[in-house]
Amino acid sequence: MTSTVTAAAVSKNFGAYQDAAVRDPVIITKNGRPKTVLIAYEDYLRLTKRERRVELTSAIGDDDLAAIEASEMDEALDHLNAEFLTGKHAAD
């Protein structure tokens, strides 16, 4: 389970939070706001090596385009629409 701690707490007991980050990410706050995340090195490698593909929208076939147009977002993700419309992340 991801934990959230203050930067002061991390500086006082870095070893414990370093060990915790091997199991799950540790969100570090500054002035009450998320600022950084401490993660396991293996997770960092996985994230930095993640394959990124870019395709032109003009290359999308008619069947795929129809499927995209017919798709609906899960209601549990409605908060993402608010972020998109306001341009602000929920944590900001």
pLDDT tens-digit readout, 15-33: 999 999 999 999 999 999 9
Residues near 57 by beta carbon (within 8 Å), at least 6 away in sequence: none
CATH architecture under which domain 3-86 falls: 3-Layer(aba) Sandwich (3.40)
Distance of CA 76 to the CA centre of its chain: 16
Cα–Cα distance for residue pair 37/28, rounded to 1 Å? 6
Strands (DSSP E) found in the chain: 3-6, 26-30, 33-38
pLDDT tens-digit readout, 29-75: 999 999 999 999 999 988 888 767 777 888 888 999 899 899 988 88
Domain range list for the chain: 3-86
- 3-state SS of 8-26? HHHHHCHHHHHHHHHHCCE
pTM over 0.95: no
